[in-house]
A and B are shown apart, each in its own frame.
Chain A
Amino acid sequence: MVEKEYRHIGKSYLRKEGQEKVTGQAMYIHDLELPGMLHAKLLHSPHARAKILSIDTSKAKALPGVKAVLVGEDAPYLVGLYMIDKRIIARDEVRYQGEVVAAVAAIDEVTAEKAVSLIEVEYEVLPAVHTIDEALEGKILVHEDINDLDYMKGVFFPQPDSNIASWNTTKKGDIEKGFAEADLIVENEFTLPAVAHAPMETHVSVAQADPYSNKLKVWSSSQSPFTLRDMLAKAFNIPRKDIEVVIPYIGGGFGGKAGIHIEPLVAVLSKAAKGRPVKLKMTREEEFNQLPTRAGMRGRIKTGVKKNGKITAFQAYYDWDSGAYADYGVNVGKTAVYSGGGGYEIENAEIHSRTLYTNKVFSTAYRGFGHLETHWSVERQMDIIAQKLGMDPFELRMKNILKPGSRTLSGEVIYQHTGSPSECLEAVAKEIGWTGYQTKEERLEQFKTGKVRGKGIALLQKAPAMPTNTSTGAIMQMDEDGGVKLMIGAVDMGQGVNTAMAQIAAEELDIPVEKVEVSWEINSDKHPYDWNTVASKYTLMGGNAVKKAAQDMLRQMKEVAAQVFRAHIEELAHKDGYIYHIKHPDKKIPYNKLSRGYVFENGNAIGGPLISHGVYTASGLTNLDPETGEGLPALAWTFGAHGVEIEVDVETGEITVLKMASAFDAGKVINKKLVDGQVIGGVLQGIGSAILEGYKFSSDGTLLNPSFTDNKIPTAKDAPLEVVPIYIENEQVDGPYGARGVAEHPMISVPSAVGNALYDATGINFHSLPLSPENVALRIAENK
Chain B
Amino acid sequence: MCGEHGNNCFVHVDSGLPPVGLKCVVNGEEIQACVDPTMTLLNFLRNELKLFGTKEGCGEGECGACTIIMNGETVNSCIILAVEADGAEILTVEGLAKDGELSILQQEFIKMDALQCGFCTPGMLMSARALLDRNPNPSEEEIKEALAGNFCRCTGYIPIIDAVKSAAKREREELK
Contact = CB atoms under 8 A, between A and B. Distances in A.
Nearest to A710: B62
A83 interface: no
B49 interface: no
A680 to B, nearest CB: 4
A775 B55 CA distance: 35
Contacts of A709: 60, 62
B160 A26 contact: no
B72 interface: no
A697 interface: no
B156 A683 contact: yes
Nearest to A14: B110
A685 B153 contact: yes
Contacts of B111: 14
B65 interface: yes
Contacts of B154: 200, 252, 494, 677, 681
A211 interface: no
A439 interface: no
B158 A719 contact: yes
Interface stretch (A16-24, A141-149, A330-338, A369-377): A16-24
A264 B125 CA distance: 36
A30 B54 CA distance: 11
Given A19-B102, A19-B110, A251-B117, A684 B157 contact: yes
A249 interface: yes
Nearest to B47: A33
Nearest to B56: A30
A21 B14 CA distance: 31
Contact of A15 (B57, B62, B113): B113
A23 B153 contact: no
Contacts of B23: none
B40 to A, nearest CB: 12
Interface stretch (B2-10, B80-88, B90-98): B90-98
B136 interface: no
Interface residues of A, number: 57
Contacts of A685: 153, 156
Given A22-B106, A28-B119, A284 B57 contact: yes
A30 B55 contact: yes
Given A25-B53, A199-B153, A681 B97 contact: no
Interface in B151-167: 151-161
B41 interface: no
Nearest to B107: A22
Nearest to B152: A200
Interface in A462-487: none
Contacts of B144: 716-717, 719
B156 A713 contact: no
B90 to A, nearest CB: 14
A716 B55 contact: no
Contact of B117 (A202, A249, A714, A715): A249
B15 to A, nearest CB: 8
Contacts of B20: none
B51 A200 contact: no
B125 to A, nearest CB: 7
B166 to A, nearest CB: 14
B96 A23 contact: yes
B53 A708 contact: no
A717 B148 contact: yes
A658 interface: no
B94 A200 contact: no
A770 B29 CA distance: 48
B145 interface: yes
A238 B116 CA distance: 36
A201 B117 contact: yes
Interface string A672-687: 0110110011111100
B117 A18 contact: no
B48 to A, nearest CB: 12
Nearest to B92: A24
A250 interface: yes
A254 B125 contact: no
A681 B156 contact: yes
B122 to A, nearest CB: 5
Nearest to A251: B119
A405 B51 CA distance: 59
B138 interface: no
A680 B153 CA distance: 11
A110 interface: yes
A518 B56 CA distance: 28
A24 B57 contact: no
A24 B58 contact: no
Interface string A216-257: 000000000000000000000000000000000111111000
Contacts of A108: 12, 14
Contacts of B122: 24
B115 A22 contact: yes
A24 B153 contact: no
Nearest to A680: B156
B121 A708 contact: no
A34 to B, nearest CB: 14
B121 A284 contact: no
Interface of B: 12, 14, 46, 51-60, 62-63, 65, 92-94, 96-97, 102, 106, 109-111, 113, 115-122, 125, 143-145, 147-161
13 contacts: A17-B118, A22-B121, A24-B52, A25-B53, A108-B14, A252-B153, A284-B62, A284-B63, A493-B116, A673-B113, A676-B159, A716-B143, A716-B148
The 9 closest A-B pairs by CB, nearest first: A24-B53, A494-B116, A251-B119, A21-B118, A494-B117, A684-B156, A18-B110, A680-B156, A708-B62
Given A21-B115, A252-B153, 13 more contacts: A18-B115, A20-B118, A22-B118, A23-B53, A27-B52, A250-B117, A284-B59, A493-B116, A494-B118, A677-B154, A680-B156, A715-B147, A716-B161
